[in-house]
Amino acid sequence: MTFSKLVDSVNSKGPFQWLIVVLLGLPILSMASHNLLQIFTAATPAHHCRPPPNASAGPWMLPTGSNGKPETCLRFVHPPNTSLPNATRGATEPCLDGWVYISTSDSIVTEWDMVCDSKKLKEMAQSVFMAGTLVGGIVLGSLSDRFGRKPILSCSYLLLAASGSGAAFSPTLPVYMVSRFLCGISLAGVTLSTMILIVEWVSTRLRAIMTIWIGYFYTFGQFILTGLAYAIPQWRWLQFTVSVPFFAFFLLSWWIPESIRWMALSGKSLKALKILQWVAAFNGKKEEGEKLSLEELQLNLQKETSLAKAKYSAADLFRTPFLRRVTFCVSLAWFATGFSYYSLAMGVEEFGVNLYLLQIIFGGIDIPAKFITFLSMSYLGRHTTEVTILLLAGGSILALILVPSDSQTLRIVLAVFGKGCLSGSFSCLYLYTSELYPTVIRQTGMGMANVLTRAGSMMAPLVKITGDVRPFIPNLIFGTIALLGSSASFFLPETLNQPLPETIEDLEKWSPRAKEPKQEPEAEKDSQRIPLQTCGPDPGPS
Q: In degrees to the nearest 10, what's the CA dihedral of 34, 39, 45, 46?
A: 170
Whether residue 438 sits in one domain with residue 337: yes
Q: Are residues 152 and 163 in the same domain?
A: yes
Residue 64 lies in a domain: no
Cα 265 from Cα 295, distance rounded (Å): 15
User: Mean pLDDT, to the nearest integer, of 386-409?
Assistant: 89
Q: Can you count the helices (H) and strands (E) in the chain?
A: 26, 4
Give me the pLDDT at residue 89, please: 55
Phi/psi for 101 (5° steps) reads -100, 130
Of residues 35 and 385, more confidently modeled: 385
One domain, residues 351 and 467: yes
- 481: nearest Cα among 366, 394, 395: 394
Whether 3 and 14 share a structural domain: yes
Confirm whether 148 is domain-assigned. yes
Say if residue 200 is in the same domain as residue 271.
Answer: yes
**Residue 491, domain member (yes or no):** yes
Q: What is the pLDDT of residue 79?
A: 65
- Contacts by residues 178-181 (CB-CB < 8 Å, ≥ 24 positions apart): 180/125, 180/128, 180/129, 180/132, 181/128, 181/129, 181/131, 181/132, 181/135
* 3-state DSSP of 42-63: CCCCEEEECCCCCCCCCCCCCC
405: in domain: yes
pLDDT confidence bin for 158, thresholds 50/70/90: very high
- What range does the domain containing 21 cover? 1-37+116-309
Q: Among the three residues 279, 309, 339, which one is the final residue of a domain in this structure?
A: 309
Domain match, 227 and 350 both:
no
Same domain? For 374 and 505 the reply is yes
* 520, part of any domain: no
Q: What is the pLDDT of residues 115-125, one digit of tens each?
A: 887 888 888 88
**Is there a single domain that holds both residue 346 and residue 297?**
no
pLDDT given for residue 258 in this prediction:
84
Q: How far is CA 342 from CA 420, 423, 486, in A?
A: 12, 10, 17
Contact in structure between 400 and 476 (CB atoms under 8 Å): no
294 and 336 co-located in one domain: no
Contact 11, 204 (CB under 8 A): no
DSSP summary character for residue 64: B
Cβ count within 10 A of residue 66: 5
Number of domains in the chain: 2
- List, for residues 418-466, the tens digit of each pLDDT value: 989 998 898 888 888 888 888 777 767 877 787 788 788 888 888 887 7
pLDDT of residue 538: 39
Which pLDDT does position 481 carry in this prediction? 93
Mean pLDDT computed over 406-419:
86
User: pLDDT at position 310, please?
Assistant: 62
Q: How far apart are CA 342 and CA 177, in angstroms?
A: 18
Q: How far apart are CA 472 and CA 464, in angstroms?
A: 10
